[in-house]
Structure 1
Amino acid sequence: MLAQFLNFHRSVLLLVLCSGLFGCAAIDPQHVITRQFGNSAPADGRPLSPEIKQDAYNFVWNRVNEAYVDPQFNGVDWKHVGEIHYPKIMGAPNDALFWRNLDEMVAELGDAHTRVLSAKQYANDKERQILSLGLNIGDTNEGILVFGIAKDSAADQAKILVGDKIVEIDGVDAQQWWQQERQKARKNSTERAREKSVRRLLNGGDPERETSQVRLKIAAADGGLRELELTRGILPRKDSITSEIQDGNIGYIKLTAFDQKLNGQIAQHFEKLKETQALIVDLRGNGGGSLGMALNMMDHVVSGKVAIGERKTRTGKPPTFMFGLISAGSLKLELKGVSQPYLKPLIVLVDSDSASASEFLSGSLQAIGRAQVFGSTSCGCLLGYMGYANIPGGGALAYSEMDFVPIAGKRIEGNGVLPDRLLMISRADLIAKRDVVLEAALDTLKQRLHTAAASENEAARVVKSSQ
């Protein structure tokens, strides 16, 4: 608590110096130091006043205008965007729609990382929790299928199972509902990112229809139909890194997010698996996070320095502070390796939910020939931001400040990482609890190890026979 108290007062003093002596643009041109200030949410829960809404609109439009990574705004006329969205934003009948309409304005950039969180969403994010039914679903050629269930969620309590098929949502044919909502969903980096928006809408609710309940008709694996009413609830967001040895001597690491708090655990997992013959890194469902953590993980699987690309900023220079005296690092991206790297065969698993830092790691290792990638095409959502900016009224703005240029291969933003081996999971696989992507990776590595062992034995035989 003392450290928090001192840090707070240092920040206040810096702000005073910044505004009173030098001007914030000089000290903090990227708004990193001052980013956490200016959040004036009504403490008593009253609706936002017109004045606060105006301040919020001005803050969002101006910050994107001055700091977005692409000065051409991805080909969008940003001034015109502001003008056409302004009446809808300011005329929103409630605060939930006000925040949603602000988000729709920044969504015109077609960028998954540039987004507005409502005051409620931001409060939940800071507490590392989310409002959700706990359903991981997707639209497939077999219908709307359940791919995963969050523990202790409404879906879990209702005993919905992986492989179940959703037939109806609130009385509407499920696939028809999905397509309707997909057409309404915010613009995004890719269609895969847009599908994630539809899933978030089902789980978290629609501001246009404020209700905590959802009615579902479910077709179970045995063919029976169930009608359920689920109530959205707050779920904790728990990120983790785990490892184990599979199929004899193949290492397996599963990382649910690149949470900086997990960064210190990476070395111990590689130490645990150092005697294995090959490695699988599973980034399916991993929405990204810390670029530094992704770099740390990659350092453990290369030898020495390896260039992997560069960051791109609006100015063409690294972010700086204090009149340019402090730099946020080089734009060149280079792996440095570790003293005892893991250099055995490596496969990385991804899916359409693998985004941001997950795509950075998988795409970079694929581009330099260090790893193969198995699964389905990743999100295509690889831009970078340096933390949420507080919006007057209690919300938050994330805006892209960095792009990434790989040393080889296509730009990942807007495209995604294309797997070396594309694999789709069927409903039958889900019902049977078969992980066909992991199975394929294990089979490929075992075959590679078998071939390598046979080659070594043949070489040894030739040497022995020549003696």
Structure 2
Amino acid sequence: MKKLLLPLLLLVTIVAQAQVPNTISAADKVYGLSKFWQEVNYNFVYLDKVDRTMWDNAYREAITKVQQTKDDYEYYRELQKFCVLLNDGHTNVYFPKSIDSLVYTSMFGKYRIFLSNIDNKAIVTSINLSAKDEVPVGSEIIEVNGLPTAEHLKKNVLPYIASSTEYVRMDWAIQNMLRGLVGESYNITYRTPKGKVKNLALTHAKTAEQEVYPTMEKRELLELKWYPNQTAYLALNAFHDPKINELFLEKLPELRKAKALIVDLRANGGGSTSIGRQILDYLSPDTLLYGSKNSTRQHLASFKAWGVFTEPKDTVGNAWAAKSLNAFQDRLMYEFDYTPSRNKVKQSDKVIVPTVLLIGHKTTSAAEDFLIYADNQKHMTKIGENSNGSTGQPFMFELPGGGTARICTKKDTYPDGRAFVGYGVKPDIEVKMTLQDYIQKKDPALDRALKHLKGQKLAAK
């Protein structure tokens, strides 16, 4: 039986790999690359932060590289690698469905392994139920295909991860460090929580087993529960669906009983800024709320032409020359009209109590806009880790072979001009999860929030 099994596995691998589409001509490969390069040059709002010589040289090199790719998968990987040079989380290249359906992250037939970045280590945080004793949760991947994990990440994973912040880039790199096509194999070495070092051969294939350990609980849009001392815990897990506003209003009478409040935004990947702000209206005493300031690139062709003949010394006291030079240097910006948002909620309807906002690396986009609006709320304290550090208005367009790309066209800052894109919104009290916290099923940020609010109550007495 074993003699028959090996050839069968090899056949499955060969067939799977043969299914990778190879439909894009050399000319279209160059066109797709050039389309992306062109749209970045014309629309990318952070082009002023890009080394233009490096960017153009990389484009020239990529012209040759993309034509040498053997299939559509390799082509899109080259585009993704090119995109990463921009260091932006709202600027990405996405596989077409024909490729995406062949790419697995966690499935390896007999095994299904989920990884997370904890203490800058690649930690197994969930696994299919039948394998939980063989690969215990909390195990650390220490080698991949003979390379130390850090070296594997640097060489084979990080060059393809687009992000505005290095810490999010590492999070995503670890989550995707074993990603690959159906049939692709990895030999990993891992250390269990008890210190035993083991090896495991993995090959990407569909996993039939559905059960995972620990069970992944489905997150609702909004979750409300209570802790001692009339402390309400309110999880706002997404702002993409206006239904969350309805759910919030349903819970509002109960929330008004709270003497303290924890708002958990750690799983909120964004959505609509206005949806989040409508909830904040009930949690802020202010009648005006100040959101982020926005700007975008401005294109005035004649000014760019005049800028060719303009030098920095010409701009002194000369607005026309300054505008021309900025246009030539692709630094001419359009500032959107800025007005604060009016909070029309009656004071009697609001919940104004000592409040903690739990934030982390997955607090993204519209959830970060929520934090900007809440920035000067004296009764609110941010606890956890830096937010994602990426927001903006992406311009979407199609690429040859059915894939898509997006480019960030809008710059967002604090009202006073402070940057948070590329840095994240920083917590007032930083709390990081350790490996031991995870193994012991502790939530140190939540624990710190409860302690902080209890301390505030004692101080108020």
Residue-pair matches, total: 386
Structure 2 distance, partners of 1:136, 1:284, is 18
Aligned CA RMSD, in angstroms, stands at 3.6
Q: How far is 1:71 from its partner?
A: 5.5
State yes or no: 1:445 paired with 2:453.
yes
Q: How far is 1:428 from its partner?
A: 2.0
Corresponding residue to 1:222 among 182, 189, 194: 194
Letter in 1 for 2:163: N
Q: How far is 1:256 from its partner?
A: 3.7
Instruction: Return 49-58 or 421-430, whichever deviates more.
Output: 49-58
Structure 1 distance, partners of 2:176, 2:186, is 11
Instruction: Return 341-350 or 67-76, whichever deviates more.
Output: 67-76
Corresponding residue to 1:195 among 148, 170, 187: 170
Structure 1 distance, partners of 2:98, 2:249, is 34
Report the counterpart of residue 287 of structure 1 in structure 2: 269
Q: How far is 1:285 from its partner?
A: 4.2
Corresponding residue to 2:33 among 57, 64, 74: 57
Aligned with 1:202: secondary structure?
coil
Q: How far is 1:411 from its partner?
A: 0.8
Corresponding residue to 1:383 among 386, 392, 402: 392
Deviations 1:73-113 (A, max 9, x none): 64535554433322222322221121121122222221111
Deviations 1:398-424 (A, max 9, x none): 110211121258311111122111112
Aligned with 1:289: secondary structure?
coil
Structure 1: gaps (5+ residues): 1-43, 317-328, 455-467
Report the counterpart of residue 91 of structure 1 in structure 2: 68
Structure 2 distance, partners of 1:405, 1:312, is 9
Structure 2: gaps (5+ residues): 1-19, 108-112, 211-215, 300-335
State yes or no: 1:66 paired with 2:46.
no
Corresponding residue to 1:259 among 240, 249, 271: 240
Structure 2 distance, partners of 1:237, 1:62, is 43
Report the counterpart of residue 372 of structure 1 in structure 2: 381
Structure 2 distance, partners of 1:255, 1:132, is 27
Structure 1 distance, partners of 2:390, 2:87, is 10
Q: How far is 1:374 from its partner?
A: 0.9
State yes or no: 1:245 paired with 2:218.
no
Aligned with 2:79: secondary structure?
helix
Deviations 1:20-64 (A, max 9, x none): xxxxxxxxxxxxxxxxxxxxxxxx955223344344234323332
Structure 1 distance, partners of 2:50, 2:378, is 31
State yes or no: 1:315 paired with 2:315.
no
Report if the CA contact (8 A) 1:117-1:395 is conserved: yes
Aligned with 1:103: secondary structure?
helix
Report the counterpart of residue 344 of structure 1 in structure 2: 353
Structure 2 distance, partners of 1:291, 1:382, is 11
Aligned with 2:400: secondary structure?
coil
Report the counterpart of residue 326 of structure 1 in structure 2: none
State yes or no: 1:168 paired with 2:143.
yes
In structure 2, relative to structure 1, the CA distance for the partners of 1:229 and 1:342 (3 Å cut) is farther
Report the counterpart of residue 297 of structure 1 in structure 2: 279
In structure 2, relative to structure 1, the CA distance for the partners of 1:369 and 1:451 (3 Å cut) is closer
In structure 2, relative to structure 1, the CA distance for the partners of 1:45 and 1:217 (3 Å cut) is closer
Structure 2 distance, partners of 1:119, 1:416, is 30
Deviations 1:271-317 (A, max 9, x none): 5423212221222244333333332332232232222332222239x
Q: How far is 1:222 from its partner?
A: 3.3
Q: How far is 1:449 from its partner?
A: 2.1
Corresponding residue to 1:158 among 110, 131, 154: 131
State yes or no: 1:426 paired with 2:398.
no
Aligned with 1:82: secondary structure?
helix
Aligned with 2:80: secondary structure?
helix
Report if the CA contact (8 A) 2:381-2:428 is conserved: yes
Letter in 1 for 2:220: S
**Percent identity for Structure 1 against Structure 2:** 22
Letter in 2 for 1:249: Q
Structure 2 distance, partners of 1:285, 1:298, is 17
Report the counterpart of residue 138 of structure 1 in structure 2: 117
Q: How far is 1:135 from its partner?
A: 1.9
Report if the CA contact (8 A) 1:308-1:335 is conserved: no
Aligned with 1:192: secondary structure?
helix
In structure 2, relative to structure 1, the CA distance for the partners of 1:333 and 1:390 (3 Å cut) is farther
Report if the CA contact (8 A) 1:345-1:445 is conserved: yes
Q: How far is 1:191 from its partner?
A: 1.1
Instruction: Return 222-231 or 107-116, whichever deviates more.
Output: 222-231
Report if the CA contact (8 A) 2:368-2:387 is conserved: yes
Structure 1 length-normalised TM: 0.71
Report if the CA contact (8 A) 2:91-2:162 is conserved: no
Q: How far is 1:139 from its partner?
A: 5.6
Structure 1 distance, partners of 2:228, 2:365, is 30
Report if the CA contact (8 A) 2:158-2:173 is conserved: no
Instruction: Return 410-419 or 255-264, whichever deviates more.
Output: 255-264
Structure 2 distance, partners of 1:80, 1:270, is 57
Aligned with 2:292: secondary structure?
strand
Report the counterpart of residue 306 of structure 2 in structure 1: none
Structure 2 distance, partners of 1:156, 1:283, is 29
Report if the CA contact (8 A) 1:279-1:346 is conserved: yes
Report the counterpart of residue 371 of structure 2 in structure 1: 362
Report the counterpart of residue 401 of structure 1 in structure 2: 409
Alignment of 1:114-129 (within 5 A): 114-120=91-97
In structure 2, relative to structure 1, the CA distance for the partners of 1:145 and 1:200 (3 Å cut) is closer
Structure 1 distance, partners of 2:56, 2:217, is 37
